[in-house]
Structure 1
Amino acid sequence: MKRNWTLDELIDQFTFLPQELTLLGNKSGETRIGFAVLYKFFQNEARFPYKKTEVPKSVVEFIAKQIDIDPILFDQYQWDNRSATYHRKQIREYFEFRPFEQEELEQLIDWIQEELLSENIDLDWVKEQVLVKLRAIQMEPPTPDRLIRFLRSIIHQFEEKFFESTYSQLSIMSINRMNHLIHLWTETNDDVVSDEEALTFRELISDPGRVGVDTLMQEIQKLRSIQQLEIPLDLFKDVSPKILKKYRQRAISEDIRELRRHPEPIRYTLLSIFLWCRSREIIDNLVELLTQIIHKIGARAEKKVEKEMLQDLKKVNGKHALLFRMAEKALEYPEGIVREVLYPVVNEQTLEDLVKEMKHSGPVFRQKVYTMMRSSYSSHYRKMVPAILKAIEFRSNNDLHQPVIEALELLKKYAGTSYRFYEGTENIPILGVVKNALMDTVLDKEENRINRINYEICVLQTLRDKLRCKEVWIVGADRYRNPEEDLPSDFDTRRQEHYQALKQPLDAEEFVNTLRKRMTKALAQLDSGLSSNSKVKILTKGSGWISLSPLEPQTEPRHLSLIKNEIIKRWPMTSLLDMLKEADLQVGFTNLFKTVGTRETLDRETIQKRLILCLYGLGTNAGLKRLSAGDHGVNYKDLLYIRRKFIHKENLRLAISQVVNAILQHRIQDIWGEGTTSCASDSKKFGAWDQNLMTEWHIRYRGRGVMIYWHVEKNSTCVYSQLKSCSSSEVAAMMDGLLKHMTDMTIEKNYVDTHGQSEIAFAFCHLLNFQLMPRFKGIHKKKLYRPDIGMKDAFSNLTPILTRPIQWELIKQQYDQMVKYATALRLGTAETEAILKRFTKNNSHPTYRALAELGKAIKTIFLCEYLHSEEIRREIQEGLNVVENWNSANSFIFYGKGGEIQTNQLEDQEIAVLSLHLLQNSLVLINTLMIQEVLLENNKQLLQKLEPEDYRALTPLIYSHVNPYGTFQLNMNQRLPLRNITA
């Protein structure tokens, strides 16, 4: 049972109804309070407490007050005597529960193996699901130790069966080749080099380097090494991704000699899972490399041509006015001499500059770019095409895009030949492959045949577009797999359940009518309120212009400095390492870090201490070697072992969610306000090594790096974070955080800036019951859509910015498909970005067009509310300011190595980011307790001084009293002096 309860929760969960009070009968004294506590605990948890300390003091006091008895008497209640046994029996019979019996629990084995273990074998998760099941069948669960032993036995049996089944499906050839691979990994470097096809284990697990043909060829070599093992493609097709991820992590964390000591079924199953998963990752990386190289060919050609042009070009300003004056003079004096008629209007030099500029734009510019692309492709990049076509297999589910697949087969057929043109008898796909603007470059007019090199460039450019929107997919890939696999397979059979989960009506007509009414109401409200809205003006200039006055600055808080000074006085230069330790002692998040192995040989106290040191070294970017030099008795190898065996993404996310939940529970409403259902999200650039696919050059911030996307609620607690490249979609990152944060916080609103929104984002957020609230950069250019046809004269004040009506019929036709994709996002059957890639502007998919229409309707409603209400605009601005404040603290904590992520391994980068997230949230937790202690003691004198402006600006993300540097000392027995004044 949780430890902290609000008054509303106590009233809701622990109030005795009149008929329940009759159960107390003539019980008195400690018997009365003991029975009452047991009754309410069982009603809540479907079990009895194992010891008195399980029941929070606040619960005992609330129950005692209702039955008019002293809560101290609960301490005198005998836990194991005859009366307590009878009380349990009486309560059990009242709720129609039966006591636990081993025979009945064993009947659940089939259900556990078929329903639970096929999805996840994590012990804690299975235990939670079994307890839910026992409650449903009204059986009291066994003691925790007994249940854990029982479940471990079942999981062990399931794993043995799984290992044996997988081992039996592997051919002798595959096993021998895996043995050969393991043998090469354990030999000396000289022996490894002698085998041309062999790769070291480190090379096989390493991420791709910088984008280029050499990197692509290295990835192809990795894929070939795995493909030669002949592991069946469908070997793990029906195995849960969570199970595969667990075993893959275990295989990577084990030393190769440790792996060889396993029995054969375990050894070859772990190896097979690792290699099978790795092949899918490599294929995804190959596709990423291919698309980036294709883009790079064109981008470099354009850059080079533009550079050459700038050396020879002087831009002519006011071209249209000059051309008008020239045409006017030519008409006025048609028989005149050029020098006499035109030169007085436009001088000779200006005419020369104008001619040069026109030559270097339009078709001439495109032709130069294409010539440059052809040159670089034929001399360098072309060698990658045969290798990539041989390594991976492209497919498409849409007949419209089959010409692309046929074109790829043609490229594969002619690979390695020296023909300049395709043979005249070949069926060469043109429609849907070659763009109209490039037809002249592909068709050689002299020979009247298709030029191979030019055609290949066109095929690759079209392939890139189709891969990005997943109209073309790859056999054996993960992110680029068959898009039909992204959708929930049980949607048709469980349609009503999925609609209810999204809180959307089954009838498309009802959905559309509700939306149409909302849209009409919002437009009418904005239209009627414009006359009294001094901050918003609708102008007729251009094609319609929205004029929005900026928000007025708010009053500066006057008393926050008093709080900060008091904190500095009480806890001067508090070690950030001690704050992380104190957060763990308060919350116990290190208990969530489980080994990826089969057992833990170290005691938990030792693991806890080393985990705190590792997390601090990773979260500050100081590194494990720097931490090992501290005064704590732990060396570098010890920390490295903990890092390898215990710290991975899933554990870190669980720890973060537990710290977030603790912050939410510890907050006192009088100080921080009521619980919020809104958060703001934005990204920040971090410098990073660039020999990988994630790091990119940032156009706006300059320099190479990666982006970290944060979701932060109003009191500066970050509920979710993720690593992304500089050019990847912020919309996908925004939706990921809303769907995957795993905390107790209920998010209903999300504030974003312009980059975090789109029409597709508005549509999906509406279907998923989130309210997207962006701050627009170019608000003056926005348009509002009409709710229906025949409303041309409605909303007269908004006429300059109104455009066409929404196509409701398209939404009705695709409503079921839209809900299907929203369900896929909710259930996480595929990555959010993989699903959103299908819905881009280059796509003519009918579901995309319907989503775009839905997004236009939702965006129109939001824009009307945004323009009508200054409170909404201020709410969004304040939310985004909180994210900016969070970003400002990143550099204070992540100070090591100049704040640059110095690794090219994607997983290591993600772990560094998540460790920073955990460390910063731990700082927020301890600061929350410190602020509450400062404000609520000494008769709340300081609290009474606070004004509304102070409460508005109060944040636990302060660090003037924190010291992240110096000698790293860690004493687990020494605590920070905190009184723990919580909710």
Structure 2
Amino acid sequence: MASIERTAYPQFKRNPVVRELVAAYTPTEAELTFVAEQARQPAHRLTLAVLLKAFQRLGYFPALEEVPAAVVRHIRGELKYRVQVKPAPVAPNKRYRYYQRIRAYLQVRAYADGGLGVAARAMNDAAAVMDNPADLINVAIEQLVRDRIELPAFSALDRMARRIRTLVNGRYFALIAGRLTADEKQRLDDLLVVSDPRQKSPLQAIKRLPKRASLQHFQELLDHIAALDNLVGSEQHLVEVPELKRKHFAAEARALDAAELRDFRPAKRHAVLLCLIHRARVQTRDDLAEMFIKRLGNIHNRGREELERLRARYREKTEALVATMSDVVRVLDHHPSDTEAGREIRQLVARRGGAQALQADCEAIAAHAGDNHLPLLWPFYKSHRATILRMVRHLDLESTTEDRSLINAIELILRQERARGDWLDEPVDLAFTSQPWRKTIVHRTEAGEERVHRRLFEVCVFSSLANELKSGDVAVRGSETYADYRHQLLPWDECEPLVADYCRQLNLPSTPVEFVNALQSRLLQVAELTDQGYLDNGQVIIGEDGLPVLKRSKAKEMSSHARALETAILDRLRERSVIEILCDVAHWTGWTRHFGPLSGSDTKIEQPLERYVLTTFTYGCNLGPAQAARHLRGAVSAHMLSFVNRRHVDANKLAAACRDIINSYAGLQLPKFWGDGKSAAADGTKYDLYDQNLLASYHIRYGGYGGIAYHHVSDTYVALFSHFIPCGVWEAVYIIDGLLKNTSDIQPDTVHSDTQGQSLPVFGLSHLLGIQLMPRIRNWRDYKFYRPDADIRYEHIDPLFRDTVDWDLIETHWKDLMQVVLSIKSGKIAASTLLRKLGNYSRKNRLYQAFRELGAAVRTLFLLQYISNRELREQITASTNKVEAYNGFAKHFFFGGEGIIADNDPLEQEKAVKYNDLVSNAVIFHNVVEQTRIIKSLMRAGWKITPEDVATLSPYVTSHVKRFGDYLIDVEAIPEPYEIELPLALAA
């Protein structure tokens, strides 16, 4: 049976607070009239009123004894009845009449009146792309509520969900089984056979993870994809099976070992193994492309290092040549006779090694005088050549633009793989090359003919391939990250009917001309206002060089009253261990309800609450199961902690658990003094990794190998969403994903960041998604301001503008821009997937150029507001300071294992960051509950506390939290209900 706690099936709260009682259970005048007309006796009226309000709240009729006493008391008080009046028990026939009258009054149909068919159809449609019974039940509930149909008993929905899921999955299993031959089925079963007890099954080879991007591992990855391609299964076996289903079946197979998979019935076993092989092929193609890009980057880095080494080597010769030239000038100045001067200069050159040696030195220095390292790449590329050629033969590359020059060049290289001459003997289109590469590979003969250097041309082609894979101009068929993003977009005929409504929601014009005119008018207006207010600004000075200088604002000092309040709170905070905090918050919010088996069934493990809390503590604090079990005094074994993490917890469940805490946090009063929840800040912090995985890379700013935990933190201090991303990725790629994937009650529409969190395409996409991007940009004065019109000039701020927005390009591609945005909103493609393509310069991709031009207009709007609005600058600084403080706060609880994420599995790395978020948010929530309690006690003691004093507080308090020692857990200790309200107005 599915756990009711993991579904949206409505239930009574055990201890509803007064505010919730008033909002949900207060009868209106019309409802009081209805109750009075339908029943005569006070007890029966109370019964009818309780059933009415309970049905409105739940969508079904509960048994009277299940209604919380607090609800009955509240409704009785609203009816003005004495305490002695109790709900009257009603006979079945009278209860049936009550139900009919309430349904008629609320215009709701009984479940028996067509509800079964509605729920079944909704579940059947959803089961094509969903697998968890809880998700199917939620879909049915949503459809029943929409159609105003009474909800059935939970057990009825649960049985239906399991039956429909079994039928839908069974159809997929049978479909796949019908396409497999007997030999293919046997080969799949052989993957689960362990021939030698000392070895692992062949299944483990399918699950292997990529290692760091070395040449040896690059070659091993090619061997792996070749082995995968030789296994059973092709795309034809999985035709008509949705990709989401494939992912779920593959995830199930990945989580189980060979013995457990052998217990499956044959059709299911073969299907999940085929899906696992399919997903392994997709992921390995992505890994190959990623490793290729990193290896090419390494080759270029070695070329740059070689250039620097040559420069250092020739620096002494450069100084000698300069000294020689100085002596020549001195000789010419000293001897007016050309004959005497020439004789002495010839002697001077002879003493310095002779003319030929000096000429050779001049040529060598000239060859490495610039910044062009490209001619030096061949020796470093040569060792990779065979591996790269093997890779491009294996991957199915396609151009995503009309320009096929790069694909044609790759085909030419493959045809001439064994050529030995220095020059290409076939004509080639160099449209894909950059100007520095053309200067490097093209040589002009004395006869004026152009020849292309074959070896350097090959390096050029694969360097361009790496760049175009990043920019999306070249795609890999059968991959995911490097697939053709155009295939993931909604077709325009599906987008077109949605445009008008979407634009109306965001208050955007719904035609290209009106959109461009509105944005241009806005830019004209803001630029004019900024120019007019320049003299009164006092904070910005534009120098003679045209560069603006922004004066620094002094930070506001904390008042003595606020310091005293902070000290009093710190002194009164009760000491708690991390485990105690997690238990308290679990009782308050029920966040552990989301954890459970992959099947969606109720957990079979003993003491699940205790196991889930301890697992979260173990992985959220980075202790690891073995180390944690040593300190838990036998409460749980290392195997059980590892089992719960692998089988009962994934990234989505961790995000859902975090969401429960955030939603409860949003109801607290204290955080509302810190922010309104309408803005958030995004920032990354490095976590160390072992280098034997593909994600780990060296971070220039932080130093060392690792990955970036990219957090989105609300202005109320709570963390909304986090990603774990590679160090080399521009962080702005993920800034929009964090807001779109945040499904909590706190929904910001403004996001702040640092320099890494912005780029022109990100500004453009944010604008179309209704998100205000307001970053704190380092060296912002070096960025271009774009004129709204080429003919406009300004009296004071004109030196800021160095280019003009290409409005025609935006208008021409407006339809393409809207197609992208609507595809993101519908979930067809992730914003990060698209921004990875648009985040890299592309002269081919007109969509990139359109987003870049739109971003130029939007960023100029922001920069103009930034320099003219002091309060905006202070708000951005305060918000980004919060996310930076959160980074340190979260790492405080990531104290195990020397702060290194030891797992090389990208899925486990992502989970480690989300576990840490869950622990951090639980401590934040607990701190706010405790601070609220202390503030209220101080107010009762006579303290005069103002909202301004409370606004200076922070929930990032750690001094009272115990991290070390023996870890004890008592899930039976029920904490006191927490207080929501904080009526500071009484003391203001």
Q: Which residue identity is paired with 2:864?
A: C
Counterpart in the other structure of 2:771: 770
Q: 2:933·2:979 contact (CA, 8 Å) conserved in 1?
A: yes
Report the Cα distance in structure 2 between the residues aligned to 1:485 and 1:56, rounded to whole angstroms. Answer: 56
Is 1:127 aligned to 2:137, yes or no? yes
Find the counterpart in structure 2 of residue 383 from structure 1: 386
Number of the residue aligned with 1:35: 48
Letter in 1 for 2:624: G
**Deviation (angstroms), 1:767:** 0.5
Among 105, 115, 119, the alignment partner of 2:116 is 105
> Partner residue of 2:895?
895
Report the CA distance between 1:978 and its aligned residue: 6.3
Question: How far apart are residue 548 of structure 1 and its match?
Answer: 0.7
Aligned AA (2:399):
S
User: CA separation in 2, counterparts of 1:943 and 1:733?
Assistant: 45
Separation of aligned partners in 2, 1:111 and 1:749: 35
The number of equivalent residue pairs is 949
Displacement of 1:330: 11
Distance 2:297 2:444 in 1: 25
**CA apart distance, 1:110:** 4.2
Coordinate RMSD, CA, aligned: 3.9
Counterparts of 1:80 and 1:689 in 2: how far apart (Å)? 69
**Matching residue of 1:195:** none
CA contact (8 A) 1:546 1:782 kept: no
- Contact residue 689 and residue 902 of structure 2 kept, 8 A: yes
Question: What SS is found at the alignment partner of 1:945?
Answer: coil
Distance 1:80 1:929 in 2: 45
Residue equivalent to 1:967: 966
Would you say the 8 A contact 1:559–1:946 is kept in 2? no
- Rounded Cα–Cα distance in structure 2 between residues aligned with 1:441 and 1:789: 39
Q: How does 1:475-874 map to 2 (within 5 A)?
A: 475-489=477-491, 490-492=494-496, 494-496=498-500, 499=503, 504-541=508-545, 544-559=546-561, 572-597=574-599, 599=601, 602-603=604-605, 606-629=607-630, 630-668=632-670, 672=673, 675-792=676-793, 795-839=794-838, 840-874=840-874
Q: Give the direction of change, closer, same or farther, for the CA distance of 1:5–1:873 in structure 2 (3 Å limit).
A: farther
- Give, as a single letter, the amino acid of the residue that structure 2 aligns with 1:969: L
Partners of 1:276 and 1:511 in 2: CA distance:
44
Distance 2:364 2:46 in 1: 90
Match of 2:985 in 1: none
CA distance in 1, matches of 2:722, 2:366: 44
CA contact (8 A) 1:359 1:365 kept: no
1:76 alignment partner, SS class: coil
- Give how far 1:15 is off: 6.8
The structural deviation recorded for 1:495 is: 4.4
| TM-score, length basis structure 1 | 0.88
The answer as to whether partners of 1:736 and 1:832 remain within 8 angstroms in 2 is: yes
Unaligned runs of 5+ in 2: 1-9, 346-350, 983-988
**2:6 corresponds to:** none
Q: Which deviates more, 915-924 or 576-585? A: 576-585
Give 2:267's match in structure 1, choosing from 265, 268, 276.
265
CA distance in 1, matches of 2:374, 2:789: 46
Q: Distance in 2 between matches of 1:334 and 1:913?
A: 79
Query: What is the SS of the residue equivalent to 1:554?
Result: coil
Is the aligned partner of 1:156 residue 2:166? yes
- Secondary structure at the residue paired with 2:875? helix
Inter-partner Cα distance in structure 1 for 2:269 and 2:802: 64
SS of 2:695's partner is coil
Paired amino acid for 2:389: P
- Pairwise CA distance, 1:267: 0.3
Maintained 8 Å contact 2:122/2:140: no
User: Could you say which residue in structure 2 is the equivalent of 1:140?
Assistant: 150
Name the amino acid aligned to 2:395.
Answer: I
Could you tell me how far 1:770 is from its partner in structure 2? 0.7
Of 211, 214, 228, the match for 2:213 = 211
Distance 1:570 1:532, change over 3 A: closer
- After superposition, the Cα gap between the structure-2 partners of 1:539 and 1:315, relative to the gap in structure 1 and judged at 3 Å, is farther
Gaps of 5+ in 1: 193-198, 343-347
Q: Aligned equivalents of 1:940 and 1:338: distance in 2?
A: 101
State how far apart, in whole Å, the 2-side matches of 1:106 and 1:887 are.
Answer: 50
The alignment status of 1:69 with 2:75, answered yes or no, reads: no
User: 1:679·1:712 contact (CA, 8 Å) conserved in 2?
Assistant: yes
Report the CA distance between 1:215 and its aligned residue.
0.9
The structural deviation recorded for 1:567 is 5.3
**Mean CA deviation greater in 953-962 or 231-240:** 231-240
Q: Separation in 2 of the partners of 1:214 and 1:820? A: 42
Counterpart position of 2:886: 886
Q: How far apart in 1 are the matches of 2:362 and 2:881?
A: 46
CA contact (8 A) 2:122 2:139 kept: no
What amino acid maps onto 2:216 in structure 1?
A: D
1:421–1:449 Cα contact (<8 Å) kept: no
Change in CA separation of 1:120 and 1:360 when aligned onto 2, cut-off 3 Å: farther
**Distance (Å, rounded) in 1 between the aligned partners of 2:883 and 2:762:** 20
Q: What is the CA-CA distance between 1:180 and the residue it aligns to?
A: 3.1
Equivalent-residue separation in structure 1 for 2:649 and 2:740 (angstroms): 23
Once structures 1 and 2 are overlaid, which stretch shifts more, 866-875 or 100-109? Answer: 100-109
Label 1:257 to 1:500 Cα distance change in 2 as closer, same or farther (>3 A): farther
Structure 1 counterpart SS, 2:709:
strand
SS at match of 1:90: helix
8 Å CA contact 1:687, 1:706 repeated in 2: yes
Deviations along 1:442-468, one digit per CA (max 9) or x if unpaired, are 669699865543222111011112111
d(CA) in 2 for partners of 1:745, 1:210: 38
Distance 1:695 1:576 in 2: 29
Structure 1 residue 134 displacement after superposition: 1.5
1:885 offset after TM fit, Å? 1.3
CA contact (8 A) 2:509 2:518 kept: no
Aligned CA distance change for structure 1 residues 158 and 789 (closer, same or farther; 3 Å): same
Q: Does the aligned pair in 1 maintain the 2:119–2:144 contact within 8 Å?
A: no
The whole-number CA distance in structure 1 between the counterparts of 2:16 and 2:552 is: 42
Amino acid at match of 1:206: R
**Higher mean C-alpha displacement, 98-107 vs 433-442:** 433-442
2:196 aligns with 187
Q: How far has the Cα of 1:678 moved from its partner?
A: 0.8
> Aligned equivalents of 2:683 and 2:171: distance in 1?
46
Contact 1:175 1:268 in 2 (8 A): yes
| 1:632 Cα deviation after fit | 4.8
Q: Secondary structure at the match of 2:542?
A: strand
Which of 412, 427, 431 is residue 414 of structure 2 equivalent to? Answer: 412
Change (3 A) 1:652 1:86: same
Rounded to whole Å, the distance in 1 between the matches of 2:967 and 2:882 is 31
Contact 2:119/2:141 (8 A) holds in 1: no
Change beyond 3 A, Cα 1:576–1:837: closer
How far the C-alpha of 1:570 sits from its partner, in A, is 5.1
